[in-house]
Amino acid sequence: MGEPPDGRSNAGPFARAWAKALSGTSYLPMTNAQLETLLQRLTDQLAEALRAEPLDLRVGHRVADELVGAHIASAEALGRTVEVIQLRLIRDLDLVADDISDRMARLLAAVATGYARALRDRTLDEQEAIRRAALTARVEAEQALRASEARFRHQATHDPLTDLPNRTLFAERLAAAVDGPASRGRRVGLCFLDLDRFKRINDSYGHQIGDRALVAAARRLRRAVEPHLVARLGGDAFVVLVEKSTGTGDVVAVAEAALATLSEPVVVDGNDVTVTASVGIVERRVADTSPDDLMRAAGSTLHWAKTAGGARWALYDAERDGREQARQALSAAIPVGLERGEFYLDYQPLTSLHDGSLLGVEALVRWRHPQLGVLRPDSFIGLAEETGLIVPLGGWVLAEACREAVGWAAGAGEPPYVSVNLAVRQVHRPGLVQEVRALLRRTGLPPNRLQLEITESTMMSTAEEPVRALRALADLGVRIAIDDFGTGYSNLAYLRDLPVTELKVAGEFVRGLRAPEPRADERILASLVSLAHALDLTVTAEGVETGGQADRLRAIGCDAGQGWHFGRPASADHILARIR
């Protein structure tokens, strides 16, 4: 087999013809020049193989591999390749050998086989690559999801302003501390903390500075009570969880650290902002409590610290809490009691010291409580005054007293007036005059048979409204009495300008009259009576328990007496029987 000396130089035109044949069969990521260079190299290899002895079919496989590797990888490209090699290779490269066509046929068969194999391998590789890519994508997606879940979880469990744990996270940790598997036999503590008068900071510096002061407070708190969990419950309320307390002292120390760090002023935007806080502390055995219980107790205790003036901590006290809860329950039962008719009135005589006649009666409210039995006013009036329930309760008393008093006109002579105690709140309420006027109209009770008892302090308030209301009532003809006179301001001069008709002198003055000899109390009382008379006021002495006291009071010039000596508080029926 001869080897033309210039065999290689003919590879160029052939490679160009090959490149042309291939054009448009596949998408090629290379320039035409690069393609020609590649094909020229392959042409050389093929020519080499056709000349060599024996014929190495692996050259055909390698050429096919290279073609496919260069993305010349379609059925069309294979067809054109076989065609162009068959038609031109021998001629273009002047290949001469006896068995050249036979060798050519075998080499082309090897190219085709190699091509098919390379294509198959490439497909498998691509599938593998796709599988891998899918796997990587899934792993990445899962990572992204986990990251965003963590972010969501953080957002859901932290306060956006201070980045402290929020109520949700705190509740989880508290529940775990109280009910968790590791909590057995442990003690737990809470500091429920609230900034004092924080609203004032918002009001005087604006909400932005208020927010920054909160952020500063949160940061300090976190640092001061580490490693305990501090959560922001909302507004200016925070809570510290002391998970493994060894006793009250631990939690008190945490509260003191919190108060100390907060008491240092913060500079926000050049403003020196000072905040103080109040802390309610609860510390107890895990076995004896629940999260709700702890929170409720801490809330009450915080309230004690606040009402004691703030800037301090208070420690939970079960006895005090019990008392307050009982009061709370009692106060909540007042509206129900009113609805169910559990309240009733007793009446106590107001007796003339001149002739022993019945001038009037004082209405005294009682509560027939379904569980506690009959309750005296001292156990619920104060409560009703605090909560404002005295308004409906007092309104009922007033109406009931008028309703019952109308029926007392049956006897001979002047029927007694009914004297009703009015609480401060009732007097300060705008609708009082209208309420009384409507009541008198509805019941038909003459206005001079109603007396309203008001304490000195009610009258001494600087507000105009109560005085105006009382004047309007007095103008209607209603009697106005000052109750418990002598226990308050005792300013008789002031009374001169008020629409008052009667003074009820407190029982304390009368008590002093027990002694056989006239003493200071008696002289004070005597001058008080003459002053009152000078002001056109009648005087009724309260708490008259003995005949001796009644005699002395009569001698002093007192007009009327009230007390056990004249009659204990009793039902309306008793009063009616007495009138007859």
Using CB under 6 A, list all residues that contact ligand C2E: 348, 364-365, 376-378, 381, 394, 397, 421, 423, 483-484, 507, 542-545, 563-564, 569
Smallest separation, CB 342 to Ca ion (Å): 22
How far apart CA 478 and CA 432 sit, in angstroms, is 13
Residue 92 or 453 having the CB closest to Ca ion: 453
As measured in angstroms, the least distance from the Cβ of 562 to Ca ion is 8
Hey, what are 225's tokens?
């009570």
Q: Per rule CB under 5 A, is residue 346 in the interface with Ca ion?
A: no
C-beta closer to ligand C2E: residue 329 or 374: 374
Burial class (CB in 10 A: 0-12, 13-18, 19+), 323: exposed
Q: Which is nearer to ligand C2E, 115 or 509 (CB)?
A: 509
| Half-sphere exposure at residue 263, Cβ-oriented, CA atoms within 13 angstroms | 11
Inter-residue contact 77 to 52 (CB < 8 Å):
no
Task: Return the residues of window 425-464 that contact Ca ion according to CB under 5 A.
Answer: 453
d(CA 347, CA 76): 120
Binding partner of residue 489 among ligand C2E, Ca ion, none, CB cut-off 5 to 8 Å per kind: none
Element holding 14 (H helix, E strand): helix 11-22
d(CA 195, CA 84): 92
Beta strands 343-352 and 358-369, pairing class: antiparallel
Token pair for 236: 């200016």
Binding of Ca ion by 421 (CB under 5 A): yes
Q: Does 483 bind Ca ion (CB under 5 A)?
A: yes
Reduce the DSSP state of residue 195 to 3 states and report it. Answer: strand
Q: Whose Cβ is closer to ligand C2E: residue 251's or residue 389's?
A: 389
Closest residue to bound ligand C2E by CB: 563
- Cα–Cα distances in angstroms (integers) from residue 453 to residues 421, 423, 465, in the given order: 5, 9, 17
Please identify which residue in the block is written with the tokens 């919190």.
258
The CB-of-470 to ligand C2E minimum distance in angstroms stands at 15
**In the complex, what is the shortest distance from the CB of residue 194 to Ca ion, in angstroms, rounded to a whole number?**
40
> What distance in Å separates the CA atoms of residue 157 and residue 151, rounded to the nearest whole number?
10
CB 280 within 8 A of CB 316: yes
Q: Which stretch binds Ca ion (CB under 5 A): 86-94, 423-431, 464-472, 482-490?
A: 482-490
Nearest to 509 by CA among 491, 527, 536, 494: 527
In whole angstroms, the minimum distance from the beta carbon of 536 to ligand C2E comes to 23
Of 170 and 509, nearer to ligand C2E (C-beta) is 509
Nearer to ligand C2E, 295 or 482 (CB): 482
**If contact means CB under 5 to 8 A according to the sort of partner, which of ligand C2E, Ca ion, none does residue 381 touch?**
ligand C2E
* Phi-psi group of 24: left, alpha or beta (phi > 0 → left; psi -120 to 50 → alpha; rest → beta): left
Q: Which is nearer to ligand C2E, 110 or 480 (CB)?
A: 480
Distance in Å, CB of 461 to Ca ion, minimum: 18
In whole angstroms, the minimum distance from the beta carbon of 502 to ligand C2E comes to 13
In the complex with ligand C2E, the residue whose CB is nearer, 40 or 421, is 421
Chain contacts with Ca ion (rule: CB under 5 A): 421, 453, 483
